[in-house]
């Protein structure tokens, strides 16, 4: 790209180039700026944002089409200043893709969503901001940092500390449990806020709640009503507000045909439009493929982290290990430990 060349060009340039001309310098600065701006949003992700990546790649295609100003012997001709806007679009798309690659790496390493967001991606974002402000070298293309490569000392130390905490646990404790005592200062620094509510006054993200009553008094109907209240974000039992989100009901007692018949009755009784919940309430019927509370972990491996606002398991007695008694407190502890372990690692 030559400064003196103000004529349309037959080459669409949205790739890296040596910053040796005024236009090339401006394009590289635009690339860095938009890469860095996009990277700042990654620590807020709940999961790898593949949808955003596809949208940004489509945006690059649309931008290329807009840059066409004519044709020369059947070949498209582009505005001479198109590399600046093209570099912005490339920066955004590449930031998202590199973040997705890094997220996959840390997930394979065994880190949970919270650690990936608050440690790995936050550390990467800080490195990206330093790279963005770095000097340009006319004879060198300096690529942006990747989340899982050349980690800064602070991020590496924190990840190593978390890995070491895994080794402090044993089979009866949640996998990522940290049993070391914390000072009040460290406790407040680590946990400055309560987890967000799901059912105000009753249940927060990562917590468990038991619905306990004698047989055949309507616990399953109550659980279905609670699930629907969360799905549409309405109050439950008049007094408990809810936060809307998708809900999964794991039913190990009813056949799918029974669930398909029962849920519409609760929908009608609540005066809900069926279309409002059709794609937000999910049911997994395990009757005939029964799993106890200790073997359900493999099932959750197929549920994406943060996919559901709430998971309902019905009925409790069918989740007890074969040797357990429903009225045995030890069995209740087994259930609670399992769910706390799972939810803590996936919230």
Token readout for 18 is 């040596």
CATH assignment of 195-346, given 1.10.150.170, 3.90.1010.10, 3.40.50.2020, 3.40.50.300? 3.40.50.300
Segment 81-125, tens digit of pLDDT: 888 899 999 999 999 999 999 999 998 888 888 889 999 999 999
Rounded Cα distance between 210 and 324, Å, is 18
Contacts of 319 (CB under 8 A, 6+ apart): 252, 291, 292, 293, 296, 313, 335
Please state, rounded to an integer, the average pLDDT across all residues of the chain. 82
Rounded Cα distance between 277 and 231, Å, is 7
Phi-psi region of 73 (alpha: psi -120 to 50; beta: other; left: phi over 0): left
Rounded Cα distance between 80 and 24, Å, is 12
**Residue 2 — very low, low, confident or very high, per pLDDT cuts 50/70/90?**
very low
The DSSP secondary structure of 198-240, one letter per residue, reads EETTTEETT--------TTSSHHHHHHHHHHHHHHT--BTTTB
According to DSSP, residue 15 is labeled S
> Which pLDDT does position 168 carry in this prediction?
45
> Which pLDDT does position 295 carry in this prediction?
63
**Residue 131 — very low, low, confident or very high, per pLDDT cuts 50/70/90?**
very high
Q: Where are the domains of the chain?
A: 22-151, 195-346
The DSSP secondary structure of 45-102, one letter per residue, reads -SS--HHHHHHHHHHHHHHHHHTEEEEETTEEEE-TTHHHHHHHHHHHHHHHHHHHHH
Residue 153, helix vs strand vs coil: helix
> Which pLDDT does position 83 carry in this prediction?
86
């Amino acid at each position: 790209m030559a400064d003196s060349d103000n004529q349309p060009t037959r080459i669409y340039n949205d790739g890296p180039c040596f910053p040796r001309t005024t236009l090339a310098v401006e394009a590289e600065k635009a690339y860095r700026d938009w890469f860095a701006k996009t990277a700042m949003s990654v620590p807020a992700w709940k999961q790898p944002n593949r949808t955003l990546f596809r949208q940004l790649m489509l945006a690059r295609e649309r931008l290329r089409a807009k840059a066409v100003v004519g044709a020369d012997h059947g070949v498209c001709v582009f505005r001479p200043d198109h590399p600046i806007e093209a570099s912005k679009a490339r920066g955004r798309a590449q930031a998202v893709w590199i973040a997705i690659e890094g997220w996959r790496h840390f997930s394979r390493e065994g880190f949970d969503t919270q650690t990936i967001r608050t440690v790995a991606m936050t550390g990467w974002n800080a490195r990206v901001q330093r790279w963005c402000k770095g000097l340009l070298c006319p004879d060198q293309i300096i690529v942006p940092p990747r989340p899982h490569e050349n980690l800064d000392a602070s991020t590496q130390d924190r990840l190593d500390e978390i890995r070491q905490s895994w080794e402090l646990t044993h089979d009866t404790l949640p996998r990522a449990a940290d049993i070391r005592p914390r000072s009040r200062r460290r406790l407040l620094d680590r946990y400055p806020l309560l987890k967000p509510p799901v059912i105000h006054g009753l249940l927060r993200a990562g917590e468990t709640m038991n619905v306990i009553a004698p047989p055949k008094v309507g616990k399953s109907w109550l659980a279905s009503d609670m699930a629907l209240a969360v799905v549409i974000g309405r109050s439950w039992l008049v007094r408990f507000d809810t936060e809307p989100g998708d809900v999964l009901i794991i039913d190990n007692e009813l056949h799918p045909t029974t669930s398909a018949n029962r849920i519409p009755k609760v929908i009608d009784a609540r005066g809900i439009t069926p279309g409002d919940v059709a794609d937000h309430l999910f049911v997994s019927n395990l009757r005939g493929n029964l799993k106890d509370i200790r073997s359900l972990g493999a099932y959750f491996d197929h549920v994406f982290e943060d996919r559901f606002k709430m998971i309902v398991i019905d009925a409790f007695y069918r989740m007890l290990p074969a040797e357990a008694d429903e009225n045995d407190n030890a069995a209740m502890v087994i259930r609670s430990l399992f769910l706390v372990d799972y939810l803590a690692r996936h919230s």
